[in-house]
């Protein structure tokens, strides 16, 4: 299979961005990525946009973003996979290059969520699940993951303190990331007294809607070898994607995400590596329980061991697998269409050694894990720095 | 017809509309594929196993076991006046799973995973008339 090189990366500041439209956010990330890649915009021959359209009043998002970036006549299209839309856009860009149809592709994840009120947002998120049989009872997105958390606690003895360790870690690193929405450390005690959102999940167990954008410039090997950039070369080394039921009524077991295990299996197999070989990971921490299940689904620890694993600090810098050391979705904020691309940007910067006091020393192999909904879309990518 | 189901209906009609009059008579029904007999709850007209689009209604006992539950404190639009409300996932004895509110007499501390429950029809006297749902009651 053709190899795909990440030539450039860019990332806007995440947060409540009343100062910018969804196109303008996209431009911030795109401009940085093009400069980083040192390519001429006229050489970009396709734009893949990751975004969830129902948050925006602007319709036809890919076209609107394409207009603002000035990339005509290169074709563009929108990729949507709920919270994994950014990773869907990356996969589409990768396939476009592997097929030979395109040589140099811009992948932009961009999302403006804070123009909608909280009640509208919650109505939208409740309908992430089954509108016919669940949303009619007032299901919410935090409510779905609360059902996972309660069952995980029941089967494996996972504790509220262990859940709380996830946001404590992620806010610790968010405080060190100037692009993050939340830049203050929190304590376990604070997580335990925060308001309940959907029991057993409290406020710090849940991510925030946010605005922001991230961008990758992808190239085939020939185009990449003609580029003048001086960065270490980062390639996509393994890639997996899978689906599972969108409904907790049909998902069966709610202590893990089977589509994540399948996507991970594909990615590890393609890369010829195992979980213990990964140096740094970005995993989906939309909720505290989501990160705990990710450790298990990705094989960083055994089934049911995610709670003790986070408590043992193995996912901090210096641990066996530093995870979300940019603050994760929890502290960076979760502009849903941008998140998957943001994960990849962080991994590329880690593999290049650009992360300063958050740097995982000598990281050469990094993984992203992006989950849409309750597991209906999962994408796992493994990136490698070429020596 | 289906938009009378639950507190906020999102689907106006479906090939399983027949679920509603049966529920109004107190019968909780699953669908059984007419061809391969695969039983589904929630009911579905279209069989994902054999691709048949014919099905029969099967009346369930309504007996179920709590798989998981949550108390929702941050509600979506239309549900704000109910907070906090208890949502349960219950595995039906005959197969399939449903989501429902718990009977109002139950507190969160009364509920546990593995608890035996019975699915009971509930009329909702909302601003909109004739709304219908089911709730989970403790099984005697």
Residue A206 is a catalytic residue: no
Q: Give how far Cα A97 sits from Cα of A100, A236, B3, B25, Å.
A: 5, 12, 46, 58
B73 in Cβ contact with B87 (< 8 Å): no
DSSP alpha helix (H) spans, chain A: 22-37, 61-69, 85-98, 118-126, 141-156, 160-174, 188-193, 221-226, 258-271, 288-297, 306-311, 328-332, 336-352
Cβ distance B10 to A131 less than 8 Å, yes or no, reads: yes
- Residue B67 forms contact with A (CB below 8 Å): yes
pLDDT in tens, A168-214: 999 999 999 999 999 999 999 999 999 999 999 999 999 999 999 99
How far is it, in rounded angstroms, from Cα A247 to Cα A268? 27
pLDDT reading at A305 higher than 80: yes
The mean pLDDT value of chain A amounts to 96
Cβ distance B71 to A198 less than 8 Å, yes or no, reads: yes
Cα distance from A134 to chain B (closest Cα, Å)? Answer: 6
Cβ distance A254 to B68 less than 8 Å, yes or no, reads: yes
Residue where the block lists tokens 């909302």: B126
Q: Give how far Cα B140 sits from Cα of A236, B66, B137, Å.
A: 58, 14, 9
- Residue B120 forms contact with A (CB below 8 Å): no
Q: Which residues contact B139 (CB under 8 A, 6 or more apart)?
A: B63, B116, B117, B118
Nearest CB among A122, A131, A201 relative to B77 is that of A122
- Angle among Cα A206, A20, A210 to the nearest 5 degrees reads 5
How far is it, in rounded angstroms, from Cα A135 to Cα A119? 14
pLDDT reading at A129 higher than 90: no
> For residue A22, what are the β-bridge partners?
none
Q: Which pairing describes strands A196-198 and A201-202: parallel, antiparallel, or unpaired?
A: antiparallel
Cα distance from A353 to chain B (closest Cα, Å)? Answer: 41
A338 in Cβ contact with A282 (< 8 Å): no
Cβ distance A199 to B42 less than 8 Å, yes or no, reads: no
- Residue A138 forms contact with B (CB below 8 Å): yes
Q: Which residues contact A126 (CB under 8 A, 6 or more apart)?
A: A134, A135, A138, A139, A140, A141, A143, B76
How far is it, in rounded angstroms, from Cα A244 to Cα A372? 10
pLDDT reading at B59 higher than 80: yes
Which of A312, A301, A243 has its CA nearest to residue A275?
A301
How far is it, in rounded angstroms, from Cα B2 to Cα A294? 37
Neighbours of A386 (CB within 10 A): 12
Q: Give how far Cα A157 sits from Cα of A207, A290, A303, A335, B49, Å.
A: 23, 16, 12, 32, 36
Q: Which pairing describes strands A76-79 and A46-50: parallel, antiparallel, or unpaired?
A: parallel
Query: Is residue B138 helix, strand or coil?
Result: strand
Separation of CA A383 from chain center: 14
Give the pLDDT confidence score for residue A121 in this predicted structure.
74
End-to-end CA distance of chain A: 20
Which of B6, B21, B33 has its CA nearest to residue B87?
B6
Residue A297 pLDDT class (50, 70, 90 cuts): very high
Q: Which residues contact A264 (CB under 8 A, 6 or more apart)?
A: A240, A275, A297, A298, A299, A369, A380
Residue where the block lists tokens 């300063």: A356
pLDDT reading at B126 higher than 70: no
Residue A48 is a catalytic residue: no
How far is it, in rounded angstroms, from Cα A245 to Cα A336? 20
pLDDT in tens, B61-107: 999 999 999 999 999 888 989 999 999 999 999 999 999 999 999 99
The DSSP result for B80-112, as a single string, is GGG-SEEEEEEEETTS-EEEEEEPTT--GGG--
Mean pLDDT of B38-48: 97
A129 in Cβ contact with A278 (< 8 Å): no
Cβ distance B68 to A151 less than 8 Å, yes or no, reads: yes
- The region of weakest confidence among B14-23, B90-99, B124-133 is B124-133
pLDDT reading at A265 higher than 90: yes
- Residue B98 forms contact with A (CB below 8 Å): yes
Mean pLDDT of A28-45: 97
Which of A206, B31, A88 has its CA nearest to residue A96?
A88
Q: Which two tokens stand for residue A232?
A: 């270490």
pLDDT reading at B38 higher than 80: yes
Mean pLDDT of A296-315: 98
Residue where the block lists tokens 């502009």: A335
pTM for this one? 0.97
- Residue B73 forms contact with A (CB below 8 Å): yes
Q: Which residues contact A246 (CB under 8 A, 6 or more apart)?
A: A128, A129, A130, A373, A374, A376
pLDDT in tens, A318-356: 999 999 999 999 999 999 999 999 999 999 999 999 999
Residue where the block lists tokens 């929702």: B72
pLDDT reading at B127 higher than 70: no
Nearest CB among B7, B70, B89 relative to A198 is that of B70
Q: Give how far Cα A382 sits from Cα of A53, A354, A378, B105, Å.
A: 28, 18, 14, 51
Give the pLDDT confidence score for residue B129 in this predicted structure.
65
Element (H, E) at B23: helix B19-24
């Amino acid at each position: 299979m053709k190899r795909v090189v990440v030539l450039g990366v860019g990332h806007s500041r995440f947060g409540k961005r009343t100062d910018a439209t969804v196109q303008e956010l996209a431009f911030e990330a795109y401009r940085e990525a093009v400069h980083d890649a040192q390519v001429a915009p006229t050489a970009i021959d396709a734009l893949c946009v990751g975004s969830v359209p129902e948050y925006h009043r602007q319709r036809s998002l890919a076209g609107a973003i394409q207009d603002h970036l000035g990339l005509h006549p290169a074709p563009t299209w929108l990729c949507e996979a709920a919270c994994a839309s950014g990773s869907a856009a990356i996969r589409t860009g990768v396939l476009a290059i592997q097929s030979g149809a395109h040589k140099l592709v811009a992948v932009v994840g961009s999302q403006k969520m804070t123009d909608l009120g909280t009640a509208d947002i919650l109505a939208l998120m409740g309908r992430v699940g089954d509108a016919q049989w669940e949303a009619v009872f007032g299901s919410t997105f935090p409510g779905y993951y609360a059902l996972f958390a309660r069952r995980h606690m029941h089967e494996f003895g996972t504790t509220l303190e262990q859940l709380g360790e996830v946001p404590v870690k992620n806010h610790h690193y968010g405080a060190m990331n100037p692009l993050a929405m939340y830049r203050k450390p929190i304590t376990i005690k604070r997580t335990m007294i925060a308001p309940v959102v959907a029991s057993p999940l409290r406020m710090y167990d849940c991510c925030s809607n946010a605005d922001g954008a991230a961008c990758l410039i992808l190239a085939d090997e020939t185009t990449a070898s003609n580029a003048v950039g001086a960065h270490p070369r980062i390639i996509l080394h393994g890639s997996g994607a899978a689906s599972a039921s969108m409904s907790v009524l049909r998902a069966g077991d709610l202590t893990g995400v089977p589509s994540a295990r399948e996507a991970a299996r594909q990615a590890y197999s393609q890369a010829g590596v195992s979980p213990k070989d990964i140096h740094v990971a970005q995993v989906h921490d939309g909720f505290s329980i989501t990160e705990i299940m990710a450790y298990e689904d990705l094989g960083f620890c055994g089934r049911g061991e995610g709670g003790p694993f986070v408590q043992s600090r193995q996912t901090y810098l210096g641990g066996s697998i530093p995870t979300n050391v940019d603050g994760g979705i929890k502290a960076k904020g979760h502009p849903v269409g941008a998140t998957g691309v943001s994960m990849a940007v962080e991994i590329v910067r880690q593999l290049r050694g650009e992360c300063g006091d958050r740097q995982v020393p000598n990281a050469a192999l990094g993984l992203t894990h992006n989950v849409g909904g309750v597991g209906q879309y999962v994408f796992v990518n493994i990136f490698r720095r070429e020596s | 017809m289906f938009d009378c189901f639950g507190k906020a209906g999102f689907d106006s009609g479906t090939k399983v509309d027949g679920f509603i009059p049966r529920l109004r008579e107190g019968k909780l029904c699953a669908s059984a594929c007419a061809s391969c007999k695969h039983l589904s709850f929630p009911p579905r007209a279209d069989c994902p196993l054999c691709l048949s689009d014919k099905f029969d209604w099967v009346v369930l006992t309504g007996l179920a076991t709590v798989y998981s539950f949550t108390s929702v404190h941050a509600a979506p639009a239309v549900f704000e006046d109910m907070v906090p409300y208890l949502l349960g996932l219950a595995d039906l004895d005959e197969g399939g799973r449903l989501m429902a509110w718990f009977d109002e007499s139950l507190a969160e501390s009364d509920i546990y995973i593995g608890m035996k429950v019975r699915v009971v029809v509930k009329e909702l006297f909302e601003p909109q008339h004739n709304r219908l749902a089911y709730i989970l009651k403790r099984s005697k």
